[in-house]
Amino acid sequence: MKQNWVKLAMAGAFLAGSSVAMAEVSGSVTLTSDYIFDGVSQTDNEPALQAGVDYAHDSGFYAGAWMSNVDFGGDTNLETDLYVGFTFGSEAVSFDVGAVAYIYTDSFSSPPSDEEADYYEVYAGVTFAENFTVKGWFTDDYASAALDAYRIKATYEVALNDTWSIPLEYTYTDIDGEDFNHGRIGIAGNFDPFTVDLSYHQTDIDVEAGDDPDLYSADGLLVASVTFSF
């Protein structure tokens, strides 16, 4: 069923691409000291190389794909996200709705497959004055384990000048009744086409992984990243 959803999503992106003159394609490549997903390290506290491409149509429709290396202690080493959505509104208040599929594979196997970890989310969000966003995600099949999970994220960016800003982020996550909080504060610089970010992460997640209960936790972690956009 998830494979059919992905095919439909990509078909929608293809059909929307017929109006190329009214659309924009962009991409990015990021090198980060750790891949943090709402308070949880996806790379065993090691660096990650990430890349993405986005298609945005003037109608508000968008679609994209994003990839990163991951390390959960097993064979899985690659995450691919496929998403489609629609934005509408004004500069004062804008809305965003869509869906995303998370696909995890062993990129060195043939064919690559790790379907037991794959899952999807639907999401909706609202942005005020282009710098304060509240967004929520939901799935009823987290990690293909038929678990209900949702998360709510609030982000705010304080502009210091044309180059520097302070990104602030808070996320509440609930996975089948087990909840935790994650916060981030950082300093970000825009040196077009490069952006740099240095952020401090705080979380109260309690994850037991082998002999190290903090293996995947981003609690008290400082993460640096640089992104090239094109």
Instruction: Look at the chain and count its residues.
Output: 230
Q: Which residue has the tokens 């298609």?
A: 55
Task: Name residue, tokens 């993460």.
Answer: 223
Helix, strand, coil share (%) of the chain residues, nearest 5 = 10, 60, 30
- Segment 30-54 mean pLDDT: 95
The pLDDT confidence band at residue 229, using thresholds 50, 70 and 90, is very high
pLDDT for residue 164: 98
What fold characterizes domain 2-229? Porin (2.40.160)
pLDDT tens for residues 137-151?
999 999 878 889 999
More confident residue, 209 or 142: 142
Q: Please check the confidence at residue 159 and state whether its pLDDT lies above 90.
A: yes
Whether pLDDT at 61 is above 60:
yes
**Residue 213, preceding peptide bond in cis (omega within 30° of 0):** no
User: Counting Cβ atoms within 10 Å, is residue 199 exposed (0-12), middle (13-18) or buried (19+)?
Assistant: buried
- Report, as an integer, the average pLDDT of 91-95: 96
pTM of the model: 0.84
Phi then psi dihedrals of residue 204, to 5 deg: -110, 20
Phi, psi angles (nearest 5°) of residue 9: -60, -45
